[in-house]
Amino acid sequence: MTHISVTVDGTAYEDEVEPRLLLVHYLRDRLGLTGTPIGCDTSNCGACTVELDGASVKSCTVLAVQADGGEVTTVQGLARDGEWTELQRAFHERHALQCGYCTPGMIMAARDLLRENPHPGSDEVRKALEGNLCRCTGYQNIVRAVLAVAEGETAAGERTGSAQEVTA
Amino acid sequence: MTTTEERPVGFGRMPRKEDARFVRGHGTYVDDVRLPGMLHGAILRSPLAHARIVSVDTSAAEAHPKVKAVITGETLAGLGLAWMPTLSYDTQAVLATDKVRFQGQEVAFVVAEDRYAARDALELIDVEYEPLPVVVDARRALDPDAPVIRDDKDQQTDNHIFDWSAGDKERTDEVFAAAGVVVEEDMLYPRVHPAPLETCGTVADMDAITGKLTVWSTTQAPHAHRTIYAMVAGIPEHKIRIISPDIGGGFGNKVGIYPGYVCAVVGSIVTGKPVKWVEDRSENLMSTSFARDYHMHGEIAATKDGKILGLRVHVIADHGAFNATAQPSQFPAGFFGVFTGSYDLAAAHCAVTGVYTNKAPGGVAYACSFRVTEAVYLVERMVDVLADRLGTDPAELRMRNLLRPGQFPYRTQTGWEYDSGDYPRALRLAMDIAHYEDLRREQTEKRRRGELMGIGVSFFTEAVGAGPRKHMDILGLGMADGAELRVHPTGKAVLRISVQTQGQGHETTFAQIVAEELGIPPEDVEVVHGDTDQTPFGLGTYGSRSTPVSGAAAALVARKVRERAKIVASAMLEVNPDDLEWEKGRWYVTGDPDQGRTMAEIALAAHSTLELPEGVEGHLDATCVYNPPNLTFPFGAYICVVDVDADTGQVKVRRFIAVDDCGNRINPMIVEGQVHGGLADGLGMALMQVIAFDEDGNCLGGSFMDYLLPTSVECPSWELGETVTPSPHHPVGAKGVGESATVGSPAAVVNAVVDALKPLGVRHVDMPLTPAAVWRAAQGRPLRTDMAIT
């Protein structure tokens, strides 16, 4: 067992963990933060994407002990005082989710993109989300949601328009 | 008819109620369920495709300090549970006793304190196998020297499962003999896998005190699961509660019962604790329901000037080691009989032979609508092969042969009655969106320069909404669906449905149906699903049947409530019910519109001291079971434009145009999302997905490293269009649509790629059209993509 201290979504935790414990299992099974799901066993799908010390990581491919002393943000730590972030709102308004299983990782990956490149074009969004598989949406509405945030178009009440992708 | 956009309450682009929990990571999927004392299960799987089990030694695993139980086939045999019935009246091994019959098959089940320990213990189990020759190629399965896979079954002396046919063979042969043109083609619809992002899993909790079994499970058909558990385990139905919580996609993968579910239940009975079992991706791909695997030989007959006359088809269907295919009992090849497509034929015949091979069971999954994917792919490829022979433009050939609106309802040569359609209008719209003539001109110029550009057309008729009870059942359970509606005193409502969403938005759209019928806001209608203790009996969600069957039940149960409300309103207004008229949300007195009562007012009065006429019970509740008179037959026109790199075989999908007609659209935003997802499926199947095998029966598609799914980069920006041809027999004129895009799109992609390769003399390439497959086809050396290159 190895001792770790890690801050997750603003809360500090001290724990004893097996060195082989994956970060995603630490979050889900130990801390009960089940908002970060698992979709594969080969690091392809990105459903488990979280932020670790400012970088986007697939938490199925990080050991919990590697997060020692670090700061983790999951999708459950995004909304403040019940207020959704712009990305969460845009995903809702643009119908960028269906079963919701890829959504946490997708939102975390999109957040990472917009931090590095606040005004991406359509192709840049697609490229940035290449590490996140979605089985339901065919990606188009996800791209539209991310572009809507980049272009400041998530004002409440605005309705989704045509099915055509917004071209940047 | 007003369009769906114009109606403010009820139908329309309502953002989803489900999203609030999902965008914040507050959904509840099976692996999120945690119960006090819960243990974890893991399955030991066969490394071999076909082998006799000599011995299983579990002693080292049982000695592991965190292991609570090790269950083998022998343990289950003692309980009469080593084999379970499948949805095709066959049997499937839960844990192998005599032999293993596919790689990845379940051999033992370990229950431990945590999931890491359970996996550790698997490695401590020692199984001795005696390898047997394997059957991998379905077309060799009936060879006289083929080893018999199902020697467990009495009277099974070969690998034959069934023969099934439809249409008039004699008449078809006559039409072919007299036809001016006959062309034929062999094509494989390769084995693929639905691969929902969430794998299959379960948490089983047998309460020894109450005798009640609660099972949280990734199931698309919770009520059917309950009945089957009751039949198999002998636990009475009222002591079984199946809860299907949020499901991370199903796509047909989560219809049947898997050995892991049964093992978790047994694990809970044996240990007295809740047992969770969640498979990993490799297990999901290797052992749960695959899709397709139809080896098809198609023939099409036509006059020399391009009037399509007939189709003749023979199929070898690879069902794997156990026939667990999910479809109505009388349809062993599903609805493949709709292979006549969207055309008015003089005659048609198909024959399907199902065979056992040393592969995982399945067949019907991945948005196939019970084999309609295969049927549509067959006919739409054959029409293109014919167009090529005749030197006719494939869109033009279709336009000439499509059924006309005046022919509906139309009875096909195989006995299906299509409900409604305006096919030429949909095809014309797709061609307009695509600027089809411009594309052909561009193609001509590119061909002159030696560049490979292809345009693929596909026109499909779907068959969804199983189905009429008189000839559609699953394991004897008729395919009707129930609905219960309860309007509370203050006018808020709860709708309980028997179908189970896996992302299709039922919590939103079913509330919209009630809102449309009762005129109360959809926000005030809570939709309850997925809990067999809470919802009426029904057959679940697959085959795009939710809207056609359960959606109809929701509309009719709301109409029952509306009629009760009419009587209450008449008592309130002291008039005869016959003097009342309905406008959305309100009953009012004919000729005096000011005299009326809203649904909220009526709801309160229905629960009050108001005196009601003799025989009226009060309250505003109703139940309904809907037995559909027919399926619904949505349709669509798809056009795909590709560029192919001649040197590498790389296919780039440049544009994809999809015009869908599913009748009235309850929520156009959700329909479009369904279409987008299905198009990505179709593109993935056409270009990259296959569960391939080597000659020893090793599964070569068992992880996301090899089983490729399209990412945001491979998918183009989909271009959609719609026409609206309502279903005349459906209460709100709506047809199913969820699977249409998966059904219709692969043929468009393949037709486009073959069209691109036409200057090189290529007439057909089997999916998936990987760079290697396309490059080899261009070299005149086609590749069999479902088998390892040896």
- Which tens digit of pLDDT belongs to each residue from B740-754? 999 999 999 999 999
What is the DSSP annotation of B140-162?
GTTSTTS--TTTTSTT--SSEEE
The CA angle B483-B213-B486, to the nearest 5 degrees, is: 20
Q: Whose CA is closest to B20, among A133, A34, A97?
A: A97
Using alpha carbons, select from B358, B285, B321, B333 the residue that is nearest to residue B90.
Answer: B321
Neighboring chain A residues of B31 at a CB cutoff of 8 Å? 28, 34, 37-38
Phi, psi of A108 (to 5 degrees): -65, -40
> Are B197 and A159 inside 8 Å of each other by CB?
no
Q: Which of B174, B165, B458 is nearest to B309 (CA)?
A: B174
Measured distance CA(B325)–CA(B347) in Å, rounded:
28
- Nearest of B532, B516, B531 to residue B734 by alpha carbon: B516
ipTM: 0.97
The pLDDT value recorded for residue B783 is 84
Confidence label for B7 from pLDDT (cuts 50, 70 and 90):
very low
Output DSSP code: residue B515.
Answer: H
The per-residue pLDDT for range A26-73, each reduced to its tens digit, is 999 999 999 999 999 999 999 999 999 999 999 999 999 999 999 999
Q: Which residue of B has its CA nearest to A133?
A: B711
B114 contact A CB<8A? yes
CB atoms within 10 A of CB B431: 20
Q: Is the pTM of this model over 0.95?
A: yes
Contact of B357 with B320, CB cutoff 8 Å: yes
SS3 B21: helix
- pLDDT one-digit tens code per residue, B216-237: 999 999 999 999 999 988 999 9
Q: Which two tokens stand for residue B100?
A: 């293993």
Distance (Å, whole) CA A107 – CA A36: 11
Beta strands in B670-717, from DSSP E residues, in sequence order: none
Which residues are CB-neighbours of B20 under 8 A, at least 6 positions away? A92, B26
Q: At residue B366, does pLDDT exceed 70? A: yes
Asked whether the beta carbons of residue A37 and residue B29 sit closer than 8 angstroms, the reply is yes
Distance (Å, whole) CA B518 – CA B598: 10
Tokens of B739: 């699977």
Closest residue in chain B to residue A18, using alpha carbons only: B116
Are A85 and A79 contacting, i.e. CB atoms less than 8 angstroms apart? yes
**Phi, psi of B319, rounded to the nearest 5 degrees:** -105, 5
SS3 B139: helix
The single residue listed with the structure tokens 């000439």 is: B400
Residue of B nearest to A50 (CA): B25
| Cβ neighbours of A126 in B, within 8 Å | 711-713, 715
Chain B positions touching A26 (Cβ under 8 A) are: none
Tokens representing residue B175 in the block: 């039409």
Find where tokens 């002393």 sit: A69
Q: Which long-range contacts (CB under 8 A, 24 or more apart) does A26-32 make?
A: A26/A64, A26/A67, A27/A59, A27/A72, A27/A74, A28/B31, A28/B32, A29/B114, A29/B115, A30/A64, A32/B34
Q: How far apart are CA B565 and CA A73, in angstroms?
A: 51
For residue B230, CA distances in Å to B222, B234, B306, B307, B456 come to 12, 5, 56, 54, 49
Interhelix angle B436-448/B423-434, nearest 10 degrees: 50
CA distance B682 to B661: 18
Cis peptide before B47, with omega less than 30 degrees from 0? no
What digits encode the pLDDT tens for the residues B377-389?
999 999 999 999 9
Q: Which of residues 71-130 of A touch B (CB under 8 A)?
A: 74-76, 78-79, 84, 88, 91-93, 95, 97-104, 107, 122, 125-127, 129-130
Task: Give the H/E segment covering residue B68.
Answer: strand B67-72
Helix (H, G, I), strand (E, B) or coil at B706: coil
- Assign B689 a pLDDT band (cuts: 50, 70, 90): very high
Inter-chain contact A137–B22, Cβ cutoff 8 Å? Answer: no
Picking from B552, B560, B555, B557, the residue whose alpha carbon sits closest to that of residue B480 is B552
The pair of structure tokens assigned to A27 is 């979050």
pLDDT of B6 strictly over 70 = no
Is A19 part of the contact surface with chain B (CB cutoff 8 Å)? Answer: no
Cis preceding-peptide flag for B628 (omega within 30 of 0) = no
Q: Out of B18, B25, B674, name the one closest to residue A36 (CB).
A: B25
Inter-chain CB proximity A40 and B34 less than 8 Å: no
User: How many whole angstroms separate alpha carbon B557 and alpha carbon B551?
Assistant: 10
State yes or no: pLDDT of B551 exceeds 80: yes
Judged by phi (left if over 0) then psi (alpha if -120 to 50, else beta), residue B760 lies in alpha
**Residue with the two structure tokens 């794997």:** B320
pLDDT over 50 (residue B445) = yes
With an 8 Å Cβ cutoff, are B24 and A84 in contact? yes
Q: Are B2 and B664 in contact (CB under 8 A)?
A: no
Q: What is the structure's pLDDT at A155?
A: 53
Facing residues of B363 across strands? B291
Predicted confidence at residue B44, as pLDDT, reads: 98
User: What pLDDT is attached to residue A81?
Assistant: 86
Q: A44 and B704: CB-CB below 8 Å?
A: yes
Task: Using alpha carbons only, give the angle B229, B471, B664 rounded to the nearest 5 degrees.
Answer: 95
Which runs of consecutive H residues, i.e. helices, occur in chain A? 23-25, 86-93, 103-116, 122-128, 140-150
Give me the mean pLDDT over the B272-276 stretch: 98
**In the predicted model, what is the mean pLDDT of residues B1-13?**
62
Question: Which residues, numbered 127 to 156 in chain A, qualify as contacts with chain B under a Cβ-Cβ cut-off of 8 Å?
Answer: 127, 129-143
Q: Could you tell me which residue, B606 or B7, shows the higher pLDDT? A: B606
* Chain mean pLDDT for chain B: 96
What is the pLDDT, as a whole number, of residue B345? Answer: 97
> Which of B655, B681, B605, B766 has the alpha carbon at shortest distance from B187?
B766
Return the pLDDT at B31.
98
Q: Could B703 and A42 be called an inter-chain contact, meaning their C-beta atoms sit closer than 8 Å? A: yes
Strand partners, B477: B474
pLDDT of residue A151: 93
- Does the pLDDT of residue A161 top 50, yes or no? no
- Comparing B351-360, B508-517, B609-618, B702-711, the range with the smallest average pLDDT is B609-618
Quote the pLDDT of residue B789. 63
* pLDDT higher than 50, residue B132: yes
Tokens of B502: 């896996």
> Which residues 36-65 of chain A have a CB within 8 Å of chain B?
36-42, 44-45, 47
Amino acid B153 reads K
Interface list for B 34-53 with A (CB within 8 A): 34
3-class secondary structure, B317: strand
pLDDT value at A156 more than 90:
no
Residue B108 above 80 pLDDT?
Answer: yes
Residues of chain B in contact with residue A103, where contact means CB-CB under 8 angstroms, are 22-23
User: Token pair for residue A77?
Assistant: 């730590």
What pLDDT sits at residue A163?
35
> What is the dihedral angle through the alpha carbons of B130, B131, B133, B135, rounded to the nearest 10 degrees?
120
Give 3-state DSSP helix, strand, coil % of chain B, rounded to 5: 30, 25, 45
Query: Of the candidates B235, B230, B245, B247, which has an alpha carbon nearest to the alpha carbon of residue B534?
Result: B245
Give the orientation angle of helix A140-150 with respect to helix B668-687, to 10 degrees: 120
Q: Rounded CA gap, B454 and B753, in Å?
A: 6
Check CB contact of B579 with chain A, cutoff 8 Å.
Answer: no
- The rounded percent of chain A whose pLDDT value lies above 70 is 92
User: What six digits make up the tokens of B684?
Assistant: 């993935």
Assess contact for B549 and B626: CB atoms under 8 A: yes
Cβ contacts of A137 on chain B, cutoff 8 Å: 673, 676-677, 680
φ, ψ dihedrals at B237, nearest 5°: -60, -35
Which residue of chain A has the CA closest to B250? A99
Type of residue numbered B443: Q
CB proximity list for B234: less than 8 A, separation 6 or greater: none
Cβ–Cβ under 8 Å, residues B281 and A41: yes
Weakest-pLDDT range from A153-167, B73-87, B111-125, B129-143? A153-167
Count each helix (H run) and each strand (E run) in chain B, helices first. 18, 34
Compute the average pLDDT of residues B559-584: 97
Q: How far apart are the C-alpha atoms of B204 and B575, rounded to whole Å?
A: 56
**Do the Cβ atoms of B81 and B257 come closer than 8 Å?**
no
Please tell me the predicted confidence (pLDDT) of residue B238: 97
Do the beta carbons of residue B418 and residue B412 sit within 8 Å?
yes
The pLDDT of B425-442, averaged and rounded, is 98
Put simply, whether B680 touches A (Cβ < 8 Å) is yes
Q: A107: which chain B residues are within 8 Å (Cβ-Cβ)?
A: 23
Q: How far apart are CA B764 and CA B342, in angstroms?
A: 22
The reported pLDDT for the residue numbered B1 is 38
Q: Tell whether the model's pLDDT for residue A153 goes beyond 90.
A: no
- Work out the average pLDDT over A137-147: 98
At B370, the amino acid letter reads F
Q: How far away is chain A from the Cα of B714, in angstroms, using its nearest Cα?
A: 9
Bridge-partner residues for B276, per DSSP?
Answer: B40, B203
pLDDT category at B408 given cuts 50, 70, 90 is very high
Per CB-CB distance under 8 Å, the chain A contacts of B282 are 41
Unique residue bearing structure tokens 């349709």: B635
